[in-house]
Copies of this chain bind each other. A is one copy, B any other.
Amino acid sequence: MTTTQTQQKDLLGRDLLVRLRRIEGQIRGIARMIEQDTYCIDVLTQVSAASRALQRVALALVDDHMSHCLVDAARAGGEEQEIKLKEASDAIARLVRS
């Protein structure tokens, strides 16, 4: 990895950690709503919001994978490229289905 790539990766890592911390808080908030017997539709709204936030984390990871691992693998070519493409393809399929 070049210095720029490492810096970008650190930046992404920090951003993802902030988002995950927030999602953790959302999940705890949902648990509290259930303990307090909040109306189910309002709980559902928060579950949908947490799901979307988690989806954005996944999309950021896919982007990161493509712009680093896939690009490196494409330049290396051969088997390395095939393996990385297959991994990316499977991960995207799991994401689309989840």
Number of interface residues of A (CB under 8 A): 56
Contact of A20 with B by CB under 8 A? yes
Q: How far is the CA of A13 from the CA of B35 in the complex (A)?
A: 7
Q: Please report which residues of chain A, range 13-66, place their CB below 8 angstroms from some CB of chain B when the two chains form the complex.
A: 13, 16-17, 20-21, 23-24, 27-28, 30-31, 34-35, 37, 40-41, 43-45, 47-52, 54-55, 57-59, 61-66
Q: Is the CB of B47 within 8 A of A61?
A: yes
Residue from A40, A49, A50, A70 whose CB has the most chain B CB atoms within 10 Å: A40
Contact of A11 with B by CB under 8 A? no
Q: Is the CB of B27 within 8 A of A58?
A: no
A86 to chain B, nearest CB (A): 9
